[in-house]
Amino acid sequence: MKTKIMSMFSCLFMVVSVFGQTPATDLHWKIEWYDDFDSINENIWSIPRSDYKPKEVSLELLLRSNIYSDSGNLVIRAKRENNMMHVDYMNDTTYFNYSSGLISLNPYFQRMYGYIEARIKLPYGKGYFPAFWTWAPDYNQPQNAGEIDIFEMVGGQGVTTMGTNLHMYYCNDIADTCENQPNVPYLGQLCPNCDLNILNYQQDVTIPPYTDYHVYGLEWNPNKIIWYVDGKMVRNTANPGIVDYLSVILNFAIYPHDPLYLPDSNTPFPAYMYVDYVKVYQLKEDKTGIINACNYNFDLCDSVKRNITIGGQGCSNTIENGNNITLRAAKFIQINGEFTVEPGAEFYMDVNDFYQ
């Protein structure tokens, strides 16, 4: 049956016939930069230049030698070590049984809002903890820091289970300083007592086996955050207030939080995380408005307008079978009169004031 729409939409998005609104299917996006990892471009990425202990609860030592390019892939390797010694800048000595790697985006390439995707192939094994995430640090006020986990894969949970999460309101690095929450220990992770809703931001989703290559994507704007896998939306949630420029991070950790998921003698090492490419997109901006368009030519709407008004007396607006139409506006989309979406057509409307 046909879907008929008669309304005005403001500060919302709508999908008729759910589909992925990634740059592959949406001409509103323009590519800002990409890296296909024929080599590792250190103008784009930062890699620790020496052995690096990431945080107190980490079980692995980060080694530069575990980050390299091979056959058009970024490779992040995790290895089993034999009590590898590390002496930090405070002359403290720690011994590690594992090593891995981390790579992060340099500040010039960081963006506020947009769409990011990467094509990645992951290993599966008990104790593996590869992740693709973003981080907006605030070292002076950790409670203002923000993090979006595009994925976290905990080896042992299942090869089709992908963890997604939003992190805000970190405890202070010096410990026990959550505002109005004394004696809350800092363990290099979130302090849920800083925000009673923080645990509600985590959600596991089911995806195809991640031991094959898949495209993992994230759309982020002031109002919402959407996760995609292979162009299909897997999670959609409101943005709880993450607004800062984000650094993209790819790493392969050893899971430190639960003894049930620690590596064992059957966990294969070395293990490898392969990243084919990373792409970052921004929306095309057009601050003009489209007013009173009768029988509107949707194919011309390839940028975000300030406002869109379509239809009206004497107009007949129909999206026909096989068409994939997207409207994006900063202020509002108004539909006057009857508007028809035929079976087999796809129609997406998004209203978000993303202008900086």
Beta bridge partners of 218: 116, 227
Q: What is the pLDDT of residue 142?
A: 59
pLDDT tens digits, one per residue of 48-70: 766 666 665 578 889 999 999 99
336-350 per-residue burial string, b: 16 or more CB within 10 A, e: under 16 = beebebeeebbbbbb
pLDDT of 183 strictly over 90: no
pLDDT at res. 49: 66
Indicate the burial class of 6 (C-beta count within 10 angstroms; 0-12, 13-18, 19 or more): exposed
CB 216 within 8 A of CB 150: yes
Residue ranges of the chain that CATH labels 2.60.120.200: 29-283
Give 106-140 pLDDT, tens digit per residue.
989 998 889 999 999 999 999 999 999 998 876 66
- How far lies 209's CA from each of 123, 132, 153, 159, 213, in Å? 10, 16, 11, 5, 9
Model confidence, pTM? 0.83
Which of these ranges, 266-280, 311-325, 337-351, has the smallest mean pLDDT?
311-325
More confident residue, 226 or 313: 226
pLDDT band at 218 (very low <50, low <70, confident <90, very high): very high
Specify the higher pLDDT residue, 290 or 199.
Answer: 290
* Helix H or strand E encompassing 287: none
Residue among 118, 106, 356, 94 nearest 243 (CA)? 356
pLDDT band at 354 (very low <50, low <70, confident <90, very high): low
Residue 92's contacts (CB-CB under 8 Å, 6 or more residues apart) are none
Report the pLDDT value the prediction gives residue 190, as an integer from 0 to 100.
47
**DSSP labels for 170-236?**
BPPTTSS-BTTBTTPPP-SSB-GGG-TTGGGG-EEEE-S-TTS-EEEEEEE-SSEEEEEETTEEEEE
Comparing 10 with 158, the larger pLDDT belongs to 158
182 or 90, greater pLDDT = 90
Distance CA 48, CA 40 (A): 13
- Residue 317's pLDDT band (cuts 50, 70, 90): confident
Query: Across all residues in the chain, what is the average pLDDT?
Result: 80
Report the alpha-carbon distance of residue 37 to residue 274 in Å, rounded.
Answer: 10
| Average pLDDT of the residues in 301-321 | 80
Which whole number is the average pLDDT over 191-210? 73
pLDDT at res. 314: 73
Lowest mean pLDDT among 35-39, 48-52, 221-225, 282-286: 48-52
Q: What pLDDT does 214 receive?
A: 98
Task: Report whether pLDDT(184) > 80.
Answer: no
CA angle centred on 128, ends 236 and 143, rounded to 5°: 50
- Using the structure block, give the residue that is written with the tokens 């690096």: 52
Rg of the chain in Å (alpha carbons): 23
pLDDT band at 309 (very low <50, low <70, confident <90, very high): confident
- C-alpha pair distances (Å), 305 with each of 104, 219, 313, 319, 346: 33, 18, 23, 20, 20
Q: 257, 254, 221: which is closest to 239 by C-alpha?
A: 221
Going by C-beta distance under 8 Å and a sequence separation of 6 or more, which residues neighbour residue 218?
A: 115, 116, 117, 134, 148, 150, 225, 226, 227, 228
Lowest mean per-residue pLDDT among 5-19, 49-63, 322-336: 5-19
- Give the closest residue to 29 by CA, choosing from 288, 349, 322, 280: 280
Pick the CATH number of 29-283 from 2.60.120.10, 2.60.120.200, 2.102.10.10, 3.90.50.10: 2.60.120.200
Highest mean pLDDT among 126-140, 282-296, 297-311: 126-140
